[in-house]
Chains A and B, each alone.
Chain A
Amino acid sequence: MIELWQAMAQGVLIGSTYGLLALGMGLVYGVSGVVNFSHGDFISLGMFMCLALYSALSLDPYVSAIITVPVMTVIGALVYRYLIRPMVGHQFLMVVQLTLGLSLVLQNGILMVFGGQPARTPSMVDSKLIILGDVVLRVPHVIAFVVSFALAIGLFVMLRSTDFGRSIRAVHQNAHAAALMGIDVSRVQVLTFALGIGILAIAAALLLPGTPIQPTQGLRYTVITLLVVVLGGMTNFVGIMLGGLIIGIAEAFGTIYLSETLGALMPYMIFVVIMLFRPQGLTWRSPR
């Protein structure tokens, strides 16, 4: 029973960050139809930037985020503007190819700079624990949960009640009509992509404490993010957060009840089962 609660708590805490990762991807897909297969490698990039900042200036990952977020946001804007935009409107697979290529470039770039050894980035809250009855929570997980949900709520409010947010939704629902309203559609697409990558920089800092990192981990994050986005019905905000929690819980249950290796399989098995019965995703409404 203790294990059940432990797995539940751990899954929810980590799952919230998975949800956040996926929101970025979902937003980008919604406004430009681009699925970014280098998503996870950008998370890697964010993490290794934190590692570099720690090595050079002994900055805590949470502090490093102040630097990595703007840097990654600018990188995101440049990548979309100069690499992805020229491909949009052509064959769908060209964008897939491009982002897969980008994934390899990032991965090997990181490998060249940092080497292949798993690395850790210490944080002051690394080993701090919160004990609630029988359940032991790691403080970095709690921080990840709180920040992820706060950001998700912030994004939700931004989408609902600001002109920029409404522009994003307008481009998603009907790009032609959005242009007729005087919205600069390609600007919205660039900014959304930049926002998505900026969010990854935050998520990277949240996931980093206590987690060993290595350059090849990107694909795993990409796949987890894809699972969550698909579970959420691609663009449904609530569905994506819910999907994140489910994948997080599946992973935690697998790791606690089964072995480490089998545990890593759990999210995929759960995913296959859910897709068999609900191919449209978890939520009831059509994605538009």
Chain B
Amino acid sequence: MLEIDNLVAGYGAVPVLHEVSIKLGAGEAIGLLGANNAGKTTLINALSGMVTPMSGRILFEGQDVTHLSPKRRVELGIVQVPEGRMIFPEMSIRENLLLGGINARARPKRPHRIDEVLELFPRLKERLSQHAGTLSGGEQQMLAIGRGLMAEAKLLMLDEPSLGLSPLFVQYIFEIIDRLHAAGLTILLVEQNLMLTLRHAQRCYVLERGHIAVEGSAEHVRDDPRTRSAYLGL
């Protein structure tokens, strides 16, 4: 479904990612691991079109999307749930969800989709007209994921969904991710939390200073000593 070929990307003239190649099949859930500054967020921002690649290629469902605008990519179904949630704090939960589905492909399906999302997150249903800024961190993460689902995502990219959440909420959010995966959604999970990601992803890639250091099944990545060194920066 997604094929990244030798992608080089970064900010200004300085590349953060060096020839990264990743493959992701339809219905797969893969993990993208790495320490701070390894280039994880740069990678998914390049996938979203927020960072312009310097070289390399991104194919989505066979189509070259390397130079498409962020808007076009969302319309194709490449949807990001950003790090730190980035919900719209001064808007109601309902408005946040409606904005999630504002792209041309999702807009006609919004009335129906919003019911499904609220069924998945009953806590949001109770607070529908409340300002999103008043939600707890965990509820904001639910909203951010809900917003991503409203966009009719085919590939849902979650950037650090566990960040700043209590253990109970982390467990809940990952159960939701498992359910979405079981329902057929393709998932790219970006995480710092190694053990958590290994439990919920089928395959993982470990990024180290912009290179793929390790890749393979969850067990393989767990047992590979390079994983540990990538994390410790040795």
How far does the Cβ of A57 sit from chain B's closest Cβ, in whole Å?
42
Q: Which of A72-80, A132-140, A162-170 contacts B (4 or more CB under 8 A)?
A: A162-170
Q: How large is the interface on A (under 10, 10 to 19, 20 to 34, 35 or more residues)?
A: 10 to 19
Q: Which of A169, A176, A181 contacts B151 (CB 8 A)?
A: A181
Cβ-defined contact, B91 with A182, below 8 A: no
Question: B214 an interface residue at 8 Å Cβ cutoff?
Answer: no
Q: Which of B17-25, B95-103, B186-194 contacts A (4 or more CB under 8 A)?
A: B95-103
Question: A184 an interface residue at 8 Å Cβ cutoff?
Answer: yes
Q: Give chain A residues whose Cβ lies under 8 Å from the Cβ of B70.
A: 179-180, 182
Cβ-defined contact, A181 with B90, below 8 A: no
Taking A163-B107, A180-B70 as contacts, is the C-beta distance between A173 and B102 under 8 angstroms?
no
Question: A174 an interface residue at 8 Å Cβ cutoff?
Answer: yes
Q: Which of B73, B91, B103, B151 contacts A170 (CB 8 A)?
A: B91
A176 to B104, CA, bound (A): 19
Taking A163-B107, A180-B74 as contacts, is the C-beta distance between A288 and B100 under 8 angstroms?
no
Question: B199 an interface residue at 8 Å Cβ cutoff?
Answer: no
Residue of A nearest to B87 (CB): A177
A88 to B90, CA, bound (A): 24
Q: Give chain B residues whose Cβ lies under 8 Å from the Cβ of A35.
A: none
Question: A59 an interface residue at 8 Å Cβ cutoff?
Answer: no
Chain B contributes a number of interface residues (CB within 8 A of A) equal to 27
Taking A181-B74, A184-B69 as contacts, is the C-beta distance between A176 and B102 under 8 angstroms?
no
Q: Give chain A residues whose Cβ lies under 8 Å from the Cβ of B86.
A: 174, 176-177, 180
- Majority DSSP secondary structure for residues of A touching B: helix
A173 to B87, CA, bound (A): 9
How far does the Cβ of A283 sit from chain B's closest Cβ, in whole Å?
13
**Binary A-proximity of B190-234 (CB < 8 A = 1, otherwise 0):** 000000000000000000000000000000000000000000000
Question: B42 an interface residue at 8 Å Cβ cutoff?
Answer: no
Q: How many A-B residue pairs have CB under 8 A?
A: 65
Question: B184 an interface residue at 8 Å Cβ cutoff?
Answer: no
Question: A52 an interface residue at 8 Å Cβ cutoff?
Answer: no
Q: Which of B69, B73, B79, B88 contacts A169 (CB 8 A)?
A: B88
Taking A163-B107, A166-B91 as contacts, is the C-beta distance between A176 and B99 under 8 angstroms?
no
Q: Give chain A residues whose Cβ lies under 8 Å from the Cβ of B89.
A: 173, 288
Question: B82 an interface residue at 8 Å Cβ cutoff?
Answer: yes
Question: A183 an interface residue at 8 Å Cβ cutoff?
Answer: yes
Question: B28 an interface residue at 8 Å Cβ cutoff?
Answer: no
Q: Give chain B residues whose Cβ lies under 8 Å from the Cβ of A163.
A: 98, 102, 107
Cβ-defined contact, A183 with B102, below 8 A: yes
Q: Give chain B residues whose Cβ lies under 8 Å from the Cβ of A179.
A: 50, 70-71
How far does the Cβ of A66 sit from chain B's closest Cβ, in whole Å?
32
Question: B154 an interface residue at 8 Å Cβ cutoff?
Answer: no
Question: B113 an interface residue at 8 Å Cβ cutoff?
Answer: no
Cβ-defined contact, B69 with A173, below 8 A: no
Q: Which residues of A approach B to under 8 Å, CB–CB? A: 163, 166-167, 169-170, 173-174, 176-184, 288
* 9 contacting pairs across A/B (C-beta < 8 A): A167-B102, A174-B88, A176-B50, A177-B87, A181-B99, A181-B102, A181-B151, A182-B151, A184-B69
